[in-house]
Structure 1
Amino acid sequence: MNAIRVVFLLFAAIILSVECNGLCQDYLRCMEQLEVKQHECLALERNLRSRSNTVCSRSKWDKKLELNALHMRRAEMARDCVRRSMTDADISESTLDPDTREHCDALHDRFQYARNETTPIRKKRSPKRSKRDAKEFPAKALECRNAARIWHRQCSALARCCPLTADCKQDTKEVMEQIYEGRDHLRRLNEDCAK
């Protein structure tokens, strides 16, 4: 199922890259890459959650996974909203003031590294897993989360260059409220577990 979704996202990115080439297009590509990375991280974190052995740590992992799912949902909604409005992208981008446009053009040039990025093909798992692999697994999950944060930062910067995203904020308002509530709940869980 995830492989089909990744193939679909990459196919959609290729089609969109042929259709237009602008700041909002960069934002869409970035959001697609972010979604791929979020799915990868979620799979890693689900495996980590299954290794938790205390009630407290399982509760925290459940809340973290719920928050990750909400973040993915918000990203999907924002991306889909911009995609629906892409016919207005050139007009909306033309409303950017000269200073913002200069900043955004620089971002557009820096974003070139992500234009042809593809997700690496997953290696099949070997039937025997070593103890070293088990120790490296949390590090892989942390590395994935850090990579997802970098993509999120890049997408947020590109969002400021695509005026269509401002109109789409209303679509994600409810999910953002759930994310804020979930963060508060996770903070309280962390405090309670530390006692």
Structure 2
Amino acid sequence: MVKPVRSLSTIFHDISSGKEPAFNELFTAYYEKLILFAKYYVKQKEIAEELVSAFFVRLWLKRAQLSTVGNPAGFLYSGVKNAALNHIRDQQKHNIMIREQEAGELFQFPENSDAAKTVDQKELQEQLRKAIAALPEQRQLIFRLVKEDGLKCKEVATLLDLSVRTIENQVYHALKSLSATIRSYLGYLPK
């Protein structure tokens, strides 16, 4: 991790002019720092490296816009954070699709219970999937991080840069919405 000799604003300006040495200087100075930052979110070094490398590719492709960036350091870290959060969101969607294919997603009934005999489990799972997909994007992400991935509200709050209370409220409203969906589908709320 080498500190650049020139200011980031100057480096960004040179990159926006298409100067490859300036891009190389930025890459050398920030690549490792941004990997460590991305790893905080995605927890795996290989994924963090992929995200940061892809970020630098996008940065070079859109270099003409860099001269208008007012806070270059903030731009770098925000860009990597957004890439990491997008990756997490995409992983959540992928994990949900896998879970949907497996028997018993969120609510499982014992095989010999009356509910299992009277309720078509696949149809209930489809109703739940639709209800989760209908949640506002942020609420959906928070719900999946807390309820499906088992993260603590405090961890999600740190990850998304929100207050713990906001996370708790979003989970509460998501559960309330899902409960209403289940109640309207079944006519009652299972315990």
TM range (shorter): 0.3 to 0.5
Q: Based on CA coordinates, which of the two structures has the bigger radius of gyration? A: 2
Q: Determine which structure has greater relative contact order: mean sequence separation of CA pairs < 8 Å that are 6+ residues apart, divided by chain length.
A: 1
